[in-house]
Amino acid sequence: MKTKVVHWAVWIVLLGLILLGISIIALVSGTTDISFSEIIRLFQYKDLSNPHYSIIFQIRLPRILLGFAVGSALSIAGVILQGMFRNPLVEPYTLGISGGAVLGVCLIVVFRLHKLLGVIALPIAGSLGAICVVLLVYFLSMRKGMIKIQGLLLSGVMISFICSSLVMLIMAVMRAEDVHGIIFWIMGSLEQSSWFLINSVTVVSLIGLGVAYCFCRDLNAFSLGEEGAKHLGVNTETTKKILFLLASILTGMSVSVAGVIGFVGLVIPHFMRIYVGSDHRILLVASSLAGAAFLIGCDTLARIIIAPQELPVGVITGIVGGIVFIYALICKKGVNKC
């Protein structure tokens, strides 16, 4: 047991250092290169007259914090859902949450409500859309007061397809300039100027990690199946409801603020499971740190690859995440010695 704790501590420290290193790289990198020593001075003296102050505190630092919150939230949701379904291919977007969020955004743009509500309009619309889909999937999967896991998955996939079709229908009749904005939002972006939204997602992410950790032993028991978990004393129905709601909140908040950023909730839990093991006591924390580091790193690449233009971060996570996922599959099969 002592050896296991030491092993876990080493991984947490290592992932924390990786997250810190990537965050520092994200601070110093961009269209305008700023040295690390100057960044330290800006944090110490808060020199508002320095033009680099605005770049650090109004552009790069908010993106890093949002990347930390969204990457962590999506990874935690991925760990929860993969543990519940006992399926490593399940991800937070499988249940149609992202489809509902995108549909809500499209509707608010069509009716021009974003002109009245300002910057907070899209996150509100995305959250409401995600909540509606979550409730619909939940009630469709209820049978005599019990949630059917397979029914939950199938209902989510079908509703996701319906939402995607409705989004394409709406985009087909929208004006060209509105379609461009929606497409960029769908691809994902950490360019969020509202500190209220950034702080909200960060708080939800940290609380979500704490709540999920309280159920880590229950998630371990789910690896034996629902019957096995019941024999170990787990109240499976209550646990499924709480964990489903928690994963939905984490995903809905992330999508509503940052758009659809794929592969984070799929690749990171799968990859961490290979290296740190399937025990959720370490898997949740490791995936949270790795997801944050992964998203911040991808966002940094998105900013500097074709600077001064910026790529949607969802494009980078898709490419890098796909490569990492293939590598993880090869390692698991033993084709490579890892």
pLDDT for position 234: 84
264, pLDDT greater than 60: yes
pLDDT in tens, 190-226: 887 678 888 889 999 999 999 999 999 999 998 888 7
Which pLDDT band holds residue 44 (cuts at 50, 70, 90)? confident
Q: Which CATH architecture has domain 2-26+61-333?
A: Orthogonal Bundle (1.10)
Which pLDDT band holds residue 64 (cuts at 50, 70, 90)? very high
pLDDT in tens, 103-130: 887 888 777 776 677 667 777 777 788 8
pLDDT (mean) for 298-324: 86
pTM: predicted TM-score of the whole model, two decimal places: 0.89
331, pLDDT greater than 70: no
CA distance 129 to 159: 12
**3-class SS string, the chain:** CHHHHHHHHHHHHHHHHHHHHHHHHHHHCCCCCCCHHHHHHHHHHCCCCCHHHHHHHHHHHHHHHHHHHHHHHHHHHHHHHHHHHCCCCCCHHHHCHHHHHHHHHHHHHHCCCHHHHHHHHHHHHHHHHHHHHHHHHHHHCEECCEECHHHHHHHHHHHHHHHHHHHHHHHHHCCHHHHHHHHHHHCCCCCCCCHHHHHHHHHHHHHHHHHHHHCHHHHHHHCCHHHHHHHCCCCHHHHHHHHHHHHHHHHHHHHHHHCCCCCHHHHHHHHHHHHHCCCHHHHHHHHHHHHHHHHHHHHHHHHHCCCCCCCCHHHHHHHHHHHHHHHHHHHHHCCCCC
pLDDT (mean) for 162-174: 85
pLDDT in tens, 228-246: 888 888 888 888 888 888 8
